[in-house]
Amino acid sequence: MTFTVAIDGPAAAGKGTIGRALAAEFGFAHLDTGLLYRAVGVLTMNRARGVIDPVSAEMIATRLTEEDLKRDDLRTAVASRAASRVAALSAVRAALLDFQRRFARRPGGAVLDGRDIGTVICPEAEVKLFVTASEEVRARRRYEELLHSRPETRLDAVLNDLRIRDARDAGRQDAPLSQAEDAVLLDTTEMSIDDAVDKARALVRAKLG
């Protein structure tokens, strides 16, 4: 059986939490596609002491392995910025396409979360969700997450980073963040993540029949 759930939306909207909950409930494999861009960003920067060279980024994307996704430095603010920059390179996106498509159609079902899953990677996904929330709510969630590992984190800096990243992700030429026409919108500004997970579960259950 193949069954794909595509979850898109801006940073810190709750895509990962919803994706993991659906994977656990229905036994689907889960891929956080942001990790692909984060790993390419970090590896590219490490190669040239902080500089992002597009040719290196493409080569690194072509050779990326599942092992690279397990690095423990992919969640930092530096990695977020690098990811957003390499994600604007068409050659990098093209190099990561096949891996994501194969993952999406693996037997047993798959959930992928990212920015272009329902629009470009899997336009034929059985369930498409677009998860969003106001900038302030998303910044506060990311801030609270980061505080655990970095007590010096500041909310205004997180909000600023989020705005720059959102603008780049939504404004780029290739596969910009956008809601697929047939995606169900889940706005988690007022809704709790638990309620959003319940809604997502109900949609998948209805589709599975």
Minimum distance from residue 166 beta carbon to ligand DC (Å): 8
Spell out, one character per residue from 148 to 187, where the chain touches ligand DC: x when CB under 6 A holds, - when not: -----------------x---x------------------
127 lies in the binding site for ligand DC (CB under 6 A): no
Part of the chain binding ligand DC (CB under 6 A), chosen from 44-52, 77-85, 133-141, 147-155: 77-85
Residue among 4 and 33 whose Cβ is closer to ligand DC: 33
Residue among 37 and 103 whose Cβ is closer to ligand DC: 37
Part of the chain binding ligand DC (CB under 6 A), chosen from 61-69, 81-89, 127-135, 151-159: 81-89
* Distance of alpha carbon 126 from alpha carbon 180, whole angstroms: 13
Spell out, one character per residue from 35 to 74, where the chain touches ligand DC: x when CB under 6 A holds, - when not: --xx------------------------------------
95 lies in the binding site for ligand DC (CB under 6 A): no
Part of the chain binding ligand DC (CB under 6 A), chosen from 23-31, 54-62, 109-117, 149-157: 109-117
3-state secondary structure the chain: CCCEEEEECCCCCCHHHHHHHHHHHHCCEEEECHHHHHHHHHHHHHHCCCCCCHHHHHHHHHCCCHHHHHCCCCCCHHHHHHHHHHCCCHHHHHHHHHHHHHHHCCCCCEEEEECCHHHHHCCCCCEEEEEECCHHHHHHHHHHHHHHHCCCCCHHHHHHHHHHHHHHHHHCCCCCCCCCCCCEEEECCCCCHHHHHHHHHHHHHHHHC
Site for ligand DC in 7-36 (CB under 6 A): 11, 33-34
* Distance of alpha carbon 68 from alpha carbon 83, whole angstroms: 14
Q: Contacting ligand DC (CB under 6 A), which of 30, 115, 138, 141?
A: 115
∠53-56-57 over CA atoms, to 5°? 80
141 lies in the binding site for ligand DC (CB under 6 A): no
Residues binding ligand DC (CB under 6 A): 11, 33-34, 37-38, 80, 83-84, 87, 114-117, 165, 169
